Structure 1
């Protein structure tokens, strides 16, 4: 953790964090915003495979949501990564991702991380490729969901990034 992150704590989310996660996602203006209810459920049902960054006040100021794929128990799919605007530029998204990966490798026997990224999202592409470099892992890419699969209007394809193998770096 860098000096710019020293006042922050990376933790598991709790149901009480759901509203903050929803607000951070909404205010990002780039994430697909899910219902507030879904963030509450996520914090309850997928806390073991998600992470929040907390300010000294205890408020969530960044998050990574993920789940272990039921058909691939060694694979963590990262759903969303977001940081409150006031806390951006500190490397917090990378610290959240690193912390979550380290925890899920140790506790859930995760060996692979997956995420999907739209072709124009260069910030996420950099975040995940630099994560792979820090972990010494390979990155495989393929289109997972093509444009024509999305029923709600124009949507870029979602490219699957498969990163692995991951190892315990504690």
Structure 2
């Protein structure tokens, strides 16, 4: 085992384990329709076109994750990308878990698994996301992620509700989490 692999194994031990019977995987184009359905059925996410999920699975698979059940079917996903002007930052776009898998810690395990993989593959050591103030599960997910990994969290409004067409959209609060010590250690 190389020193980098040993550091990664030590850092990984601080991460949540995937719930029994599930596995994390890189999304494939054929997962796009299932990911779109999970997003639609969440009734919490801004639903993108089905086409965009197909593209996401093709173009941003390296910075995204899908959780699969024992049959290999997607039951959760996280989409993300590295910021072009800040390549050490992974922006988390959407997180969703199928209703059948909620309450098992899957979202946290996916976030831990994804950030660990992207840290090793692309060198990220921080994450960003936006969350509306009324989205308690996402607020808990990202706050607990930062606490679990000993990382600072900064919050500020990125987009006011008035920036969105049609009115009625809540502000999007930007969470900046990092640097994340376990991810930075994995890079050494």
| Fold-level similarity (TM above 0.5) | yes
| Distance in structure 2 (CA, Å) of the matches to 1:79 and 1:45 | 14
Which residue in the other structure is 2:109 paired with?
A: 95
SS at match of 2:86: coil
Name the count of aligned residue pairs. 169
Q: What is the deviation of 1:121? A: 0.9
In 1, are the aligned partners of 2:161 and 2:167 still within 8 Å (CA)? no
Which residue in the other structure is 1:74 paired with?
A: 88
TM-score after normalising by structure 1: 0.96
Indicate which of 47, 50, 53 corresponds to 1:33. Answer: 47
Q: Does 1:140 align with 2:154?
A: yes
Q: What is the deviation of 1:153? A: 2.1
| Distance in structure 2 (CA, Å) of the matches to 1:115 and 1:31 | 13
| Distance in structure 1 (CA, Å) of the matches to 2:127 and 2:166 | 27
Question: Which region of structure 1 is more displaced relative to structure 2, 20-29 or 145-154?
Answer: 145-154
- State the Cα deviation string for residues 95-117 of structure 1 (Å, max 9, x = none): 00000011111111001100000
Q: Stretches of 4+ moved more than 3 A in 1? A: none
Which residue in the other structure is 2:23 paired with?
A: 9
Which residue in the other structure is 1:83 paired with?
A: 97
Which residue in the other structure is 2:176 paired with?
A: 162
| Structure 2 portions without partners, runs of 5+ | 1-15
SS at match of 1:24: helix
| Distance in structure 2 (CA, Å) of the matches to 1:107 and 1:140 | 25
Q: What is the deviation of 1:15? A: 0.3
SS at match of 2:66: strand
Q: What is the deviation of 1:161? A: 0.2
Which residue in the other structure is 2:77 paired with?
A: 63
TM-score after normalising by structure 2: 0.87
Question: Which region of structure 1 is more displaced relative to structure 2, 144-153 or 17-26?
Answer: 144-153
Q: Larger relative contact order (C-alpha < 8 A, sep ≥ 6)?
A: 2
